[in-house]
Chains A and B, each alone.
Chain A
Amino acid sequence: MAQNENIIAHAGIRFFGSISASATHEIKNNLAIINESAGLLKDLSLMAEKKGHPLSLERINDISERMIRQVQRADLVLKKMSRFSHSVDQAMEITDLEKTIIFVLDLASRLVERQGAVLEIISPVAPMLVSTNLFFLENMIWRAIETACCAADNEKGVKISFGTNVSEPLIWFTMNRVKKEIMDDIFRSKEDLALISYLNISIEKNNKNTGFGLLWPKCI
């Protein structure tokens, strides 16, 4: 048990690290644009002062709007990171599965983009709630997204849908086409197994072996 907790803790730190690194990269990009915009304003004022180039008010307005837009983008990333950081606040809480998936996808959008996958979420008829540890649920969802993207072949289309029956998986990840060798070996790592056991869930593959689902023993 203690060994499992150790593995989960390591997995959690790695997950937190990769999300933070991705957010940092996004903010650095925003800062780079703000930095160059400020530099451009300086260039324009120097050109006006030294060479008598007229300063266009429209141009200055465009540049300031660009800077404001980048500050807003960076602020949004920080808000998401702040929400993510608070995921560890409570050991157990009632969580909406769809909202958590949307949040994880939004948080890791840059990482998903790098996987080259196209994800589509099909909303459940009614909210699906589970009582769980939010941070490790987010971690498990991210591992499932990564697994699905990795197993998806060619067009990399991944559909995320929700089960309607308590005896079936609550979250389904279905791929248009799969790499069979990856599908045959999913969720076998120590970290996956420890997380699955900690969250008290099980993994089920669909009949065609083109997807997998996360099954909770009970839904609220």
Chain B
Amino acid sequence: MSEKVLLVDDEKEFLEIMSERMQARGMVVTTAESADQALSIIGKESFDAIVMDFQMPGMDGMEALKAIKNKKPELQIILLTGYATIEKTVEAMKIGATDFLEKPADLEALAKKIKEAKAEKMLIVEKQTEEKIKEILQRYGG
């Protein structure tokens, strides 16, 4: 089954070309030009992974990461960055980023990370479903 990805970057040309290449590899790609737009999209749709530029005008990457994780904790976020410091990377991973890739990124490496992110998300969702079922059984099943 194809991976459903939300690609977030303020560079329109990057979004166009990257989404075309990802779609050619069987992924279903939605794009957003800002963190605010991404937040609005994830409120309406579900994704296997979000690939997001870490430095965008408006909402800063760290703020965006926190806001997304707050809204949808199960979402897997892969950060793309022009310059990544170790401190920032560690901070972002602590907040809940799944992975990091430096720009220009190797698409095959990114595709691999997206597949891994999808598998990780499925595990989390399965666990959440199990917990919900247990909760329902405890409540109603005696």
Contact = CB atoms under 8 A, between A and B. Distances in A.
A40 interface: yes
Nearest to B53: A29
Contacts of B73: none
A36 B104 contact: yes
B104 A70 contact: no
B104 A31 contact: yes
Contacts of A110: 57
Given A33-B11, A70-B13, A116-B58, A28 B104 contact: yes
A154 B71 CA distance: 25
Q: Contact residue range for chain A?
A: 20 to 34
Contact of A36 (B14, B56, B58): B14
A29 B82 contact: yes
A24 B82 CA distance: 7
A31 B58 CA distance: 23
A25 B13 contact: no
A212 B24 CA distance: 54
A27 B18 CA distance: 17
A112 B80 CA distance: 21
A39 interface: yes
27 contacts: A24-B82, A24-B83, A26-B82, A28-B83, A29-B11, A29-B82, A31-B103, A32-B80, A32-B103, A32-B105, A33-B11, A33-B14, A33-B17, A34-B104, A35-B105, A36-B14, A36-B17, A36-B21, A36-B104, A37-B17, A39-B107, A40-B17, A40-B21, A43-B21, A47-B24, A113-B57, A114-B55
